[in-house]
Amino acid sequence: MKKRILIFITSLFLVGCSNSDTSNKNPYIPNTNFTVDLNMNLPTYSILKYASNAIYYPNVGVRGIIVFYTGSTYNAFDAACPNQELSDCSTMTIKGINAICACDSIEYNLFTGQGGQQYPMKQYRVEVNGDVLRIYN
Domain ranges of the chain: 39-136
Element counts in the chain: helices (H) and strands (E) = 1, 9
Q: Identify the pLDDT of residue 22.
A: 40
Q: Output the pTM of the full model.
A: 0.82
Fold of domain 39-136: Rieske Iron-sulfur Protein (2.102.10)
Q: Is 47 within 8 Å of 66 (Cβ atoms)?
A: no
> Rounded to an integer, what distance in angstroms lies between the CA atom of residue 75 and that of residue 127?
10
The 10 Å Cβ neighbour count of residue 111 is: 14
Question: Which residues, at least 6 apart from 21, have a Cβ–Cβ distance to it below 8 Å?
Answer: none
Region 16-35: mean pLDDT is 74
* CA pair distance 123, 132, nearest whole angstrom: 19
Q: What is the pLDDT of residues 29-46, one digit of tens each?
A: 999 999 999 999 999 999
Confidence of residue 25 (pLDDT cuts 50, 70, 90): confident
